[in-house]
Structure 1
């Protein structure tokens, strides 16, 4: 089955080549909507063979993505951003996935580099269908239209593939700040007309927490939690952000209670990684050392590749005077970090050497 890469871009000349290289041999064509690039983005896309359509930016990501969808002619659609790449392991699975006759959408696990939480699930591989469209001007998604279509045509299935499918490098420095300012502006405008959207209240709360505006964050979380029927994923996000709010205020028992509420939601275990990390931090603040160590154990069982879980547990064991056990955990952290974050692996190694705990 043929598949089209579908993108919206603006001034992504630095990152677009890597994204396109990751889908070479996977997609049959590419449709790229450019919303006003001033750099070489459009030339790079056209040189790669993409069909490029230039449209004005109207501060609505869903609208731009739907314009791109309009130009797709193949049976399947893969949606990526320029700062995302497809993993080789998942790329090898795509031909088989597209042969499934009753699959409408495939939910993909995306790894978020350099941020917490480190994983999210996104609906980025789906069949072209006239009733599937993106909604919400920010944190846009096809999920609402998928559920509506399933109600009318119940034979369609939503599938989920194990393993990381997309790696997201995100934004750095002033780009992140610019993104947050844009996010606040767009979400505020939308929520004025759609105050029942608990999902966007949780996302807007995250923006305010990152900025240190705790009062605004609390208002957003209270508004989101008013919703009578919360889908588990949105409930998890709201409780997680509520825990972060309490943690910022130093209200550690309340933070622990909120994180435990998040962990109690029936959501995929991989979504709980950040919550476990935050929970352990809160437990340490109350000197609940045993609870924190147990939380790190649960996190390592859930994701044996989470270097931060080993690193933080090792630091705690060292603090408690359990040097041998601490070094076991810290060596595991260094081993993982050599692939994930070489600079941090070197820093941690040098720190332990300076303490006389590792040989040069």
Structure 2
């Protein structure tokens, strides 16, 4: 007689909602296939949230909100009769491909007591999504949450059985600017945490969550103060015994210092952390910090360490998706490209592309550094995603690839986008028919095109025409006014970050020079900070122009790439006035090679190795001789 198979385990979805009619449907749809119960605690919705939840078969329980998340979560737990509990918020969705795996976990006889699911948090500013493992799935054995804000249950569950990571993907959209603005969750959480800390001022975990929330809100100076208090609390204890959140606090403190433009303390904290915990996240953080300080050899060492480091299950960090692979490879490529080693840069970009063919940045950079434009056709055949295809076209426009207009025609047949229009403008403005470029600008309904016209007029120093054209701007008025402030030699430094990346992007030498001249040495830190803010909007190396020496490095590299010895020498000498760096040694070596002076090349290399004996790039250069 065959034994009766065990019945399948049941799953209860538990939620807290308020005015979530716009987001709730996709969330419930993503899990309805597996959820045997849907329990929704409504804290006072005024829209169609309740009716929508009931349409999906959810049981809705009204609850008067009392600024206590644990109270509301536990109310939902009390209503659940299933074997497993899954908690989701309305702005989260289970990935359809993860449903079979989730079902396996529910019915696994050797299942853990709880599981951390992999949350993909979308930021919406062009940055890679942030990945974080969160405990949201656990067996229904009477566990309850504690804490009014950032409620906790993990410690209680872990006392009764293991908690494991599961590769179940949950997409989280709550950090998108539109949702953040509508819900005002950040300010709400900060207020609740501050209230909690008044009652429990020595609770370091609450302080960590407050610092983290302040960082998310962009209030980094306040975040640093909270993280420093956690350091004060644990300073005299063995770092190996620190709780995971305290390690995470050091990681976030280093990040906040960097975002404040205080790169030296940022690097000091990440370096201190790496002495005790060799995690990929800390290596990556240290690499970015060293890159911000233009210490490229140290940055290369840190990024290489990130690729080699193994994941440490003791720590739960929020990290950008791809940090342990293609994002780090892209950073390595950018450093080598900046230092003039196009071949090594291209190799790293190719590695990044292999790991993430859909990521547009690796595609764009590979195209720009392609030594043989005729090979672009075969490269194009390996690209499948629309975003990567647009990046391919931008790269082609940059280098003047003759087939660019045809490629853009092909894209526009699938639906005209802002990216394809901008790529066409870039191609025509640099390599094509100037009259056609002007016609497109005049006929483009988007204000962005008129703003480009303003920048061109600035570069031609036609100030009356610029002022007339700028008067009609709305969306880009702030940028135009910032340009005007700099050119009029008025206090324009806080706005300069809006202008610097545009100057780089459109090669506006007149405006660019004016901005550089407006920064005296004592204001360079401020300039770097403002330019960094602009860089976060998606422009490469916008931090650098605030430092005149680094700006000269950029121009030297461009002149060397064009094999223009006169311009290269001019900008190299200007750069060397700001001190000797590894980058400038490499540029000097490239210039001597371009000038054909083998003896001088040898002397420069020997001196550079004496000055920077630990430089990996210089060692590689010497080994190639």
**Match for residue 349 of structure 1 among 389, 392, 395:** 392
CA 1:103–1:36: 2 relative to 1, 3 Å = same
Within 5 A, what are the aligned runs for 1:150-229? 150=159, 156-173=160-177, 175-177=179-181, 178-228=184-234
Give 3-state SS (helix, strand or coil) of 2:21's partner: coil
Within 5 A, what are the aligned runs for 1:2-41? 2-41=10-49
- Greater Rg by CA: 2
More helix by share: 2
Select the structure with the greater relative contact order (CA < 8 A; seq sep ≥ 6): 1
Aligned residue for 2:379?
none
Determine if contact 1:123/1:141 at 8 Å carries over to the other structure: no
1:136 aligns with 2:147: yes
Give 3-state SS (helix, strand or coil) of 1:227's partner: helix
Determine if contact 1:111/1:164 at 8 Å carries over to the other structure: no
Within 5 A, what are the aligned runs for 1:246-265? 246-263=257-274
Give 3-state SS (helix, strand or coil) of 1:53's partner: strand
1:77 aligns with 2:85: yes
1:81 Cα deviation after fit? 0.9
CA 1:60–1:334: 2 relative to 1, 3 Å = farther
CA 1:266–1:304: 2 relative to 1, 3 Å = closer
Give 3-state SS (helix, strand or coil) of 1:157's partner: coil
| Unmatched segments (≥5 aa) in structure 1 | 151-155
Give 3-state SS (helix, strand or coil) of 1:92's partner: helix
Give 3-state SS (helix, strand or coil) of 2:144's partner: coil
**Match for residue 112 of structure 1 among 115, 121, 133:** 121
Distance 2:275 2:223 in 1: 22
Distance 2:266 2:340 in 1: 27
**Match for residue 95 of structure 2 among 59, 65, 87:** 87
1:73 Cα deviation after fit? 0.8
Determine if contact 2:207/2:226 at 8 Å carries over to the other structure: yes
Give 3-state SS (helix, strand or coil) of 1:284's partner: helix
Q: Deviations over 1:125-155 (max 9, x none)?
A: 111122x1112222222123324xx2xxxxx
Within 5 A, what are the aligned runs for 1:232-247? 232-247=243-258
**Match for residue 127 of structure 1 among 109, 126, 139:** 139
1:103 aligns with 2:108: no
| Unmatched segments (≥5 aa) in structure 2 | 1-8, 310-321, 362-384, 405-625
1:182 Cα deviation after fit? 0.5
1:238 Cα deviation after fit? 0.8
Distance 2:113 2:29 in 1: 26
1:6 Cα deviation after fit? 0.7
CA 1:110–1:212: 2 relative to 1, 3 Å = closer
Determine if contact 1:334/1:348 at 8 Å carries over to the other structure: no
Question: Does 156-165 or 36-45 show the bigger shift?
Answer: 156-165
Distance 2:135 2:330 in 1: 32
Determine if contact 1:236/1:265 at 8 Å carries over to the other structure: no
Give 3-state SS (helix, strand or coil) of 1:123's partner: strand
TM-score of the pair, normalised by structure 2: 0.50
What's the Cα RMSD here? 3.1
Determine if contact 1:62/1:138 at 8 Å carries over to the other structure: yes
1:343 Cα deviation after fit? 7.6
Question: Does 311-320 or 209-218 show the bigger shift?
Answer: 209-218
Aligned residue for 2:334?
315
Give 3-state SS (helix, strand or coil) of 2:201's partner: coil
1:194 Cα deviation after fit? 1.9
Aligned residue for 1:153?
none
**Match for residue 338 of structure 1 among 348, 358, 363:** 358
1:344 Cα deviation after fit? 6.0
1:157 Cα deviation after fit? 2.0
Aligned residue for 1:293?
300
Determine if contact 1:235/1:265 at 8 Å carries over to the other structure: no
CA 1:68–1:264: 2 relative to 1, 3 Å = farther
Distance 1:237 1:304 in 2: 16
More strand by share: 1
**Match for residue 284 of structure 1 among 264, 268, 291:** 291
Determine if contact 2:287/2:303 at 8 Å carries over to the other structure: yes
1:183 Cα deviation after fit? 1.1
Aligned residue for 2:484?
none
Distance 1:92 1:128 in 2: 21
Give 3-state SS (helix, strand or coil) of 1:21's partner: helix
Determine if contact 2:221/2:256 at 8 Å carries over to the other structure: no
Determine if contact 1:80/1:124 at 8 Å carries over to the other structure: yes
Give 3-state SS (helix, strand or coil) of 1:110's partner: strand
TM-score of the pair, normalised by structure 1: 0.83
Distance 2:95 2:275 in 1: 31
**Match for residue 62 of structure 1 among 67, 70, 82:** 70
1:249 Cα deviation after fit? 4.2
Determine if contact 1:198/1:225 at 8 Å carries over to the other structure: no
1:289 Cα deviation after fit? 1.2
